[in-house]
Amino acid sequence: MKRPIVVANWKMQLGLKEGELLMDDILNRLEKIKKIAEKVDIIFCPPFFALESVSKKLKGSFSLLNRKNQMTNLFLGAQDCFWEHKGAFTGEISPDQLKELGCQYVIIGHSERRQNLGETDEMVHHKIKTVLESELVPILCVGETFEERQNGAKDYVIINQVTRALEGNVLKADQEIIIAYEPIWVIGSGQVVTQEEAQYTNQVIQQRMIDFYPLPLIKNNIRLLYGGGIDSTNVGQFIEKDIIDGILVGNASLKAEEFVKIIETIGLKSTQ
């Protein structure tokens, strides 16, 4: 089984001070379950303006508690980036700049950007390429709308998104790609798909990637996540099968107690 992963996407929900207080609360709670939490890779994706603040928190880990035993499984991620390394692109941020701030992961192609900002599959493709060139890890989001699902086009939509994003993008032996299946129609609804459907969809994704990368790379360098409606009461069912390597968390990542419960559940499952 691959090492499990939990990605916290804060979206545009918190101010700077709110984010700092949330991080302190989460770190304090993680310290209490340190041995369990260390079994999970935990990635925090705050808004751009909070990256430096959260980075400092993560670098210090439990130094706030005068602890010397820092957790090394806490990482910083960004919610998006531009597809060029530098240039006259007002308001944008490049993977290289994110790397300077301490980021190791970048969410690419989230449905809210596709829907609200007109982000296309071509843009996603170029972002993945630039992120890999910058030696960061892309977290590629794919998912269908309710209408696409009702029309029986779900598998086609997922396969097309994966194909357009990854085809032609080189993955080296020391690099990683994370793909998160997040059905658009469940985001913010409190609903989730069944464990069986999440597993089946990730199998579809995995099968498509065979056309792009060698099997050893797919086995060792690509992790498949599920996202949408996840909380501490339902997370357990999604990580019982090896095909699902972790979780992308939205609203529940904004509540320290709830988020840490999710991590604890996954950490305990990984030892079984």
Tens of pLDDT, residue by residue over 135-177, are: 999 999 999 998 999 999 999 999 999 999 999 999 999 999 9
Least confident of 11-20, 114-123, 262-271: 262-271
Residue 209 host element (H or E)? helix 195-209
**Catalytic site residue 125?**
no
**Catalytic site residue 110?**
yes
**DSSP string across 214-240:** -HHHHHHHEEEEEESS--TTTHHHHTS
Overall average pLDDT of the 242-246 stretch:
84
Mean confidence (pLDDT) of the chain = 91
Query: Residue 174 has what DSSP assignment?
Result: T
pLDDT > 90? residue 59: no
For the chain, the domains span 5-270
Of the residues 112, 119, 144, 182, only one is catalytic, namely 182
d(Cα 20, Cα 33) in Å, to the nearest integer? 20
Query: Residue 5 has what DSSP assignment?
Result: E
pLDDT > 50? residue 64: no
Tens of pLDDT, residue by residue over 99-112, are: 999 999 999 999 99
Tens of pLDDT, residue by residue over 40-56, are: 999 999 999 999 999 99
Nearest Cα neighbor of 47 from 6, 75, 77 is 77
Per-residue pLDDT, 155: 94
User: Strand 177-181 vs strand 105-108: parallel, antiparallel, or unpaired?
Assistant: unpaired
pLDDT > 50? residue 66: no
Q: pTM for the complete prediction?
A: 0.94
Q: Check if the beta carbon of residue 87 is closer than 8 Å to that of residue 126.
A: no
CATH 3.20.20.70 is the classification of domain 5-270: yes
Of the residues 38, 110, 135, 144, only one is catalytic, namely 110
Q: Count of CB atoms within 10 A of residue 268's CB?
A: 14
d(Cα 163, Cα 218) in Å, to the nearest integer? 15
Per-residue pLDDT, 232: 93
Each residue of 15-41: b (16+ CB within 10 Å) or e? eeeebbebbeebbebbbeeeebbbbbb
Cα dihedral 11, 257, 192, 219 sign: positive
Structure-block tokens of residue 36: 């369990």
Per-residue pLDDT, 20: 96
Overall average pLDDT of the 200-212 stretch:
92
Per-residue pLDDT, 69: 58
Per-residue pLDDT, 65: 45
d(Cα 238, Cα 96) in Å, to the nearest integer? 34
Per-residue pLDDT, 1: 59
User: Strand 177-181 vs strand 222-227: parallel, antiparallel, or unpaired?
Assistant: parallel
Structure-block tokens of residue 125: 């493709």
Per-residue pLDDT, 193: 85
